[in-house]
Structure 1
Amino acid sequence: MNKKELKEFLDKKVEQYNVPDFIPLDPIKIPHQFSDKKDIEIAGFLTATIAWGNRKSILNNANKMMQLLDNSPADFIKNFEEADLKSITNFVHRTFNSEDLKTFLRALQRFENEYGGLEFAFAKALKSSTNLLEAISLFKHDFFQIEHLNRTQKHLSDPMKGSAAKRILMFLRWMVRKDNAGVDLGIWNEIQARDLYLPLDVHTGNISRQLNLLTRKQNDAKSVIEITNVLRKFDPTDPIKYDFALFGLGVFKEL
């Protein structure tokens, strides 16, 4: 396929996979359970943090987190006191455990108190950066200004250290994209869809290479930049809509 044909092919696949039927089996299902903006972004952030491994397990454990937050994540983050965290025990999703969750909750409360929430914490980082990958690195540095175990830092990736940062980029896609199909939530206005980067994983990486959209073999930050730059040529204002096409092609093995 030439570039024009490839764009037309991917556009059709976006239409095929960027549909509400995508929601029930995807981690994005969890923030979709809420209607309040603050509930959505906190539920989304925590869900994206544990979004690796078996999908059923991700959804089950994300729901457990919401239950621990009384199914009112924004209210919990705003009002919890240290004693309230004593009830958070025995939570585990792979290597993310109760102590990691408590650290994340403390950091989220600090962001709420100091910046007015996650959106404005990210916006602050972006204003001090040349692109969103740099902003994620600054965001992480700021996030862990509270007391924490060193091991907990691994649960928030840093693209400036070479990571593809798939989960945080997926979360940003959820929050930023104004999605006419109603899948991505698009509740943030401080960051633009044109600034997003592709949440690169095994599926999207393999398909991107099969379609000659990506030459680099590793799924790392350099590959994220390479594939995103290609997708921006297809749609400069909303390049990451193609995540649906690439992910769908990979999961359903259409190629």
Structure 2
Amino acid sequence: MNQDPELPQWLRIENKLCIPSKSNKFLQKNINSLNHTISHFNQPKVIANSINSSWAELINVLVMVLIIVNIRNLLLLWLMGVVFLYQFIKLPNRQIIAFIKSLLKITAFSVTISLPSILIANSLLSALIWTAKIILIIGMVQIFRHRTTWAELLRGLRQLHISNTFVLTLDITIKYSHVLSSYLQQMLQAIQLRTCGNPPHVFLLASQLLGRMYLMSRSDALELYNAMILRGYSSKSISKEKMKFSWADCRLLSLDAILIFICCYLGGTF
């Protein structure tokens, strides 16, 4: 019987690849950061069903933020806290945990950035009020995010007769930021696999990635521009969104009007 030929000795030797422990940190750290950034572009998995129109929700969150920024009365601050808690309990149960996590993370970051202003406050009460205002503003914006999708936000802007050019630019910017972030993440993962976790010099790698990202974004922008020309795009051709008004919108705007009146009536210092 014919025996199978034996492999040479040099093919039977197992060579273990030793990867330096510090070589993978740069790529892995940037990949994790991109994963975190891309997750912010995605809408929450559960969106609360709102009976209000998109434009009314947008006006409501803008009024709430402006009132909180200009609060100069403790009673009004307490009242805005009650309004925030009322809107918070209306969220679905599956959203509450995600809402609390995002609120704590963004609040911790915002308080850290605003720490010098908090420390130089005249008194402890002023510092606590400043922190409470930050929490309320972030909470109102997060509630709006969990109740309104990106498409509904754009619809609300069009219903408020915002410039179509501005709305389109905003839409394209967000979408292409997500596309470019995903492309950069794929490039980093490819580099990590091809170099076995031992990337080239950091500055050389960063310059190469920036060059590739610029060329890709320029190519995509030209393709989008040519596609818009071929389809006969013009700002006047966009169908205008009709503003719908319901009793729910009336109640929401009435609440905003009452809060504005109370804010003007209770004006003064702490």
State the TM-score, normalized to the length of structure 2: 0.25
Based on CA coordinates, which of the two structures has the bigger radius of gyration? 2
TM, length-normalised to structure 1:
0.26
Where is the helix percentage greater, Structure 1 or Structure 2? 2
Between the two structures, name the one with larger relative contact order (CA 8 Å, sep ≥ 6). 2
